[in-house]
Amino acid sequence: MDLTPHPLQTNGPEIVLASGSAIRRHLLTQAGLRFTARAVAVDEVALRDAAQAEGASGEEAALMLAEAKAMRVRDPDAVVIGADQILVEGERWLSKPDDLAAARAQLWSLRGKTHCLATAVAVRRGGVTIWTHVESPLLTMRRFSEGFLDAYLEAEGHQILSSVGCYRLEGMGVHLFDRVEGSFASVLGLPLMPLLGFLRQHGVLLP
């Protein structure tokens, strides 16, 4: 990662993104932040299933996972950012599909319905969580045809398996939807504007 100084960033603490997500790295890079990214090992399925069994909401579970990721970076001086996202449709919490057949079934099940992307970010420093934020964009899929779905899956291929919703809204996934309510960055997996606001308040970015 390029750590050259950025004109809007102070000489304050190092920023660490506790994630291997390419799109989250892209969002921070496009905003001009100087940071390092560290992929962390968290048993997301077990934590999510436990949260759901305990009656947690999708937002609560996403925040729990975001904090768990940030906790895996043991650097007391750094500002550590963890983020996570859970797709909620009715009573269902959907996970990333294992293959394109599962992706097809999942997309068809979401056709014509509105789902929520519970998107959380947690910031830790010195071994404690110092800030959290959750947003819940709502996305309504149109009643697309089976022919469209087949063409979409062929065009996008296995790259959509990295997305819980099986779509890249920044790419061809936009064709799946009639309506999107919420910030674009949050749909992609990181509530960017609130995060930047906190980093300014914390002295990491210029006010």
- Kindly list the catalytic residues: 84
Where do the domains of the chain lie? 15-201
Question: 120: which 2 tokens?
Answer: 């959380």
DSSP conformation class of 21: -
CB atoms within 10 A of CB 113: 12
pLDDT for 1 beyond 50: no
Give the Å distances, CA to CA, from 182 to 71, 116, 137, 145, 173: 28, 10, 4, 26, 16
Alpha helices by DSSP H, listed for 4-57, are 22-30, 44-53
Q: Three-state SS for 170?
A: coil
Query: Could you read off the pLDDT of 160-204 as tens digits, one per residue?
Result: 998 889 999 999 999 999 999 999 999 999 999 999 999 999 999
Considering only the top CATH level, what class is 15-201?
Answer: alpha beta
Question: 60: which 2 tokens?
Answer: 């609560």
Give the pLDDT band of residue 13 (cuts 50, 70, 90): very high
Q: Are the CB atoms for 80 and 125 separated by under 8 Å?
A: yes
